[in-house]
Chains A and B, each alone.
Chain A
């Protein structure tokens, strides 16, 4: 081991460049991985949040959760509740908290109007950190997600101005690491008042009927597909989306990002692995004579093999550690810079760090095998007499 350490520093520049190759790969892997971790938490949490119910949208909506979709109206709730297997249905009005804020990578901040008496039940997983959830008869009040509380510096009792209307904050939700963190829940009627300003002509007189979606709680979640089918057939002008479809929609995004991670890993393999192989092949050819000496004094093939694999592994491990450190540092800095807005884009987990390090180390070891085999197979006589 000591010899391996001193051996890799016999060519400091070349070793540094080789390690840099691995550093770049692992750096990319760490930063991308931290993005993916964050996204996966969002996806998993979203999955849990949406898992309990079906969503019914206007059939014109291109996809669920589009803030610009046409409103649907109250009487549909009654129609849907007639369908077999539906325990209850509740209108929900969801729109952007601030229509001028264009959503970026992260989840947009949302204003969600609900009927507390029909929306909350055991299957809605929300807990309060302070204050309380909405109740029937509330008016002009809001329960907000943890990110909103942080970003706008709000506590229970404060006033939160949403689209020029003042709401009293009566509750702050526990952090969920997913959608509800960025949602301000308000009574449906209040949401309708805000929403009516944006809808097409002709809906004003029906303000009290407006919703963007109907959330349908089934008796048995396993029948969600059948219920969705029944809704599509029996209710005109709407489309029902099952919890599974919601999860799939959210999952699309994570697939893309996971592909980016795979891409980064592949680049790391190519850049780092090839540079290690190249360096080790050069190292072996420089040390042919030494290999011959070692064989002459009785080194078995396995000892030569091990010597070079250990050296390559060391290159990988050092590159891994540095890349890991640089990546983690960048992630921490970026997170600190965006923390003020209540949004962190990266999530560093111990598993991710361990994975990046092991990845680099194993990469080094694998890249070392071929050069080490070349070394171990050298003919001792020729190796000894080589110049």
Chain B
């Protein structure tokens, strides 16, 4: 099956930080295509470059080198103002710490991105719909401090959706939530993906979260170590990406067997 035109495409994407004499290649030559409607995870240990990659994909950071296109258009060389407009129109962010504005109510937080674009008369109605969609219709006028962590993160998801972005970038969205809340949140994201076709990229180190997605990209030292799809037919490759263990090299037989066991245990 030919891959549809990617919504997000990175070629040799590289971000180098210089600290005095030494330099850190936080993201180092990453190639990545994300098709519309994908529901995927970027995994890696802390320091693997996953957050930097997310910042690059979200146009919060400029790459040191490489190419990045959104909707087929290059964002390299865009001005600060153009990057801000891209973030506003094409990207929706969800952060680990929810990052709502404490002085604004839930619905005002959802409306925040609209404030910086052209006036939309249907903004308020749309914000209410989105809050309804994430199950917070009753909480529209509550401030963040009056909401639980899970509720705050749902507000953040509604905010990310308000401008109908091409892609939602979620940075450890369940990092501050207990496991039950975490599962419900993932279910919501999944539902938005299935029913509304929202392209979603989740950065996480939680295999449980990543395992709920269709594709896992594992980063290590800024490189893509593995990139596997659940429906690509190779369940082992997906699990290997999930666990971060190689499954093809000669010394990995034990792990491969362990992978099989895992597959079997999951009823596959």
Contacts and interface: CB of A to CB of B under 8 A. Distances in A.
Interface string A280-298: 0000000001101111111
Interface string A1-21: 001001100100000000000
Interface string B93-110: 101000111111000000
A301 B87 contact: no
A298 B116 contact: yes
Interface in A1-53: 3, 6-7, 10
A380 B60 contact: yes
Interface string B103-145: 1100000001101110000000000000000000000000000
B61 A297 contact: no
Contacts of B102: 290
Interface in B38-82: 55, 58, 60-61, 80-81
Contacts of B258: none
B104 A301 contact: no
Contacts of A299: 84, 88, 115-116
Contact of B99 (A10, A303, A384): A384
Contacts of A301: 80-81, 84
A266 interface: no
Given A293-B101, A298-B116, A381 B88 contact: no
A151 B246 CA distance: 105
A11 to B, nearest CB: 12
A300 interface: yes
A303 B116 contact: yes
B99 A298 contact: no
Contact of A298 (B55, B61, B87, B104): B87
A209 B18 CA distance: 98
Interface residues of A, number: 20
Contacts of B89: 298
A12 to B, nearest CB: 13
Contacts of B159: 297
A294 B115 CA distance: 10
B112 A297 contact: yes
Contacts of A295: 60, 84, 87
A308 to B, nearest CB: 14
B85 interface: yes
A298 B118 CA distance: 12
A296 B58 contact: yes
A301 B86 CA distance: 14
Interface string A289-330: 110111111111101000000000000000000000000000
Interface residues of B, number: 28
A300 B104 CA distance: 19
A235 B117 CA distance: 84
A372 B117 CA distance: 20
Interface in B157-194: 159, 163
Nearest to B97: A289
Contact of B61 (A289, A303, A381): A381
Contacts of B95: 296, 384
Nearest to A302: B81
Contact of B60 (A294, A300, A384): A384
Nearest to B55: A381
A3 B88 CA distance: 20
A295 B117 CA distance: 13
A289 B99 contact: yes
A384 B87 CA distance: 14
B111 to A, nearest CB: 10
A294 B163 CA distance: 14
A222 to B, nearest CB: 63
Nearest to A294: B112
Nearest to B95: A384
Nearest to A385: B51
A297 B85 contact: no
A296 B60 contact: yes
Given A380-B60, A381-B55, A381-B60, A297 B113 contact: yes
Contacts of B112: 293-294, 297
A138 to B, nearest CB: 78
Contact of B103 (A6, A294, A296): A6
Contacts of B93: 296-297
B85 A298 contact: yes
A301 B102 CA distance: 21
Interface string A357-385: 00000000000000000000000110010
Given A290-B102, A298-B116, 18 more contacts: A7-B103, A290-B101, A294-B101, A296-B93, A296-B95, A296-B99, A297-B87, A297-B93, A298-B85, A298-B86, A298-B87, A298-B89, A298-B91, A300-B80, A300-B84, A303-B116, A380-B60, A381-B55
Interface of B: 55, 58, 60-61, 80-81, 84-89, 91, 93, 95, 99-104, 112-113, 115-117, 159, 163
26 contacts: A10-B103, A289-B99, A293-B99, A293-B101, A294-B101, A295-B87, A296-B87, A296-B99, A297-B87, A297-B88, A297-B93, A298-B84, A298-B86, A298-B88, A298-B91, A298-B117, A299-B84, A299-B88, A299-B115, A300-B80, A300-B81, A300-B84, A300-B85, A300-B116, A384-B60, A384-B95
